[in-house]
Amino acid sequence: MSDSLQKTYVWDPVVRVLHWSLVIAFATAWGLGKFGPNIMTLHFYAGYTVAAIVALRIIWGIVGYRTARFSHFVKGPRKIATYARTLPTQTPSRSYGHNPVGAIFVVGVLVVLALQITAGLFADPEDYINTGPLAQYVSIDLARKALSLHEPLSALLLLMVLGHIGAIFWYKKRKGENLIKPMVTGYADLPPEKVKAAHS
């Protein structure tokens, strides 16, 4: 490790557990939705798990550890544009938490997941088997609209996940940054000035 970098605590256990739990729960829900049995009870349970994780992550984004809070990593258009211009370069970002562009993904995936969960809860395919638990409380037209959204949102989420994985590989190959290790250990090697600026 370079002398100009210091081992810095970045991701708290709550963020790390929720992150990897979401990976498992989403993959399970998506796989069961695509390839599972016709009676998708397990798909529903996986979806409920995803819903719980999303709710907890939103709460933790408000009251949690510094780097987990939306107020810490959500930036305005100017900072997003400034950071975006550095993406093609080989210079490591060494961000203290989510970078401004990564923050767009975090917020975006939470929003799309929330929409996907809501659509699933109200969806009614009229097969009397795979009906969402809240479909009975809305009109059939609304339930069918929810069903019509569930599939495209699933495809969008898959594209977002693939983009996320692609970004991880890009940072590793182009910038020499390992983004997975900090999400496992909680620690990243950062320039002291970035850590100081983040705490100021």
Residue 66 DSSP label: G
* pTM, entire model: 0.91
Predicted confidence (pLDDT) per residue in 134-188, tens digit:
999 999 999 999 999 998 999 999 999 999 999 999 999 999 999 999 999 999 9
As given in the structure block, the two tokens for residue 31 are 């796989």
Give the confidence band of 200 by pLDDT, cuts at 50, 70, 90: low
Predicted confidence (pLDDT) per residue in 101-128, tens digit:
999 999 999 999 999 999 999 999 887 6
Alpha-carbon span 140 to 152, nearest angstrom: 19
Alpha-carbon span 89 to 83, nearest angstrom: 11
Predicted confidence (pLDDT) per residue in 8-66, tens digit:
999 999 999 999 999 999 999 999 988 877 768 899 999 999 999 999 999 999 999 99
Identity (one letter) of the amino acid at 194? K
As given in the structure block, the two tokens for residue 182 are 């900090």
87: left (phi over 0), alpha (psi -120 to 50) or beta: alpha
Alpha-carbon span 119 to 173, nearest angstrom: 38
Q: Which residues lie across from 155 on neighbouring strands?
A: none
Q: Which CATH architecture has domain 6-182?
A: Up-down Bundle (1.20)
Alpha-carbon span 142 to 146, nearest angstrom: 6
Closest CA to 14 of 61, 72, 71: 61
Residue 54 and residue 113 in contact, taking contact as beta carbons nearer than 8 Å: yes
Q: Domain ranges for the chain, please list them.
A: 6-182
Phi, psi dihedrals of residue 116, rounded to the nearest 5°: -65, -45
As given in the structure block, the two tokens for residue 194 are 């970035």
What pLDDT is attached to residue 3? 55
Given a cut of 80, whether residue 2 has pLDDT beyond it is no
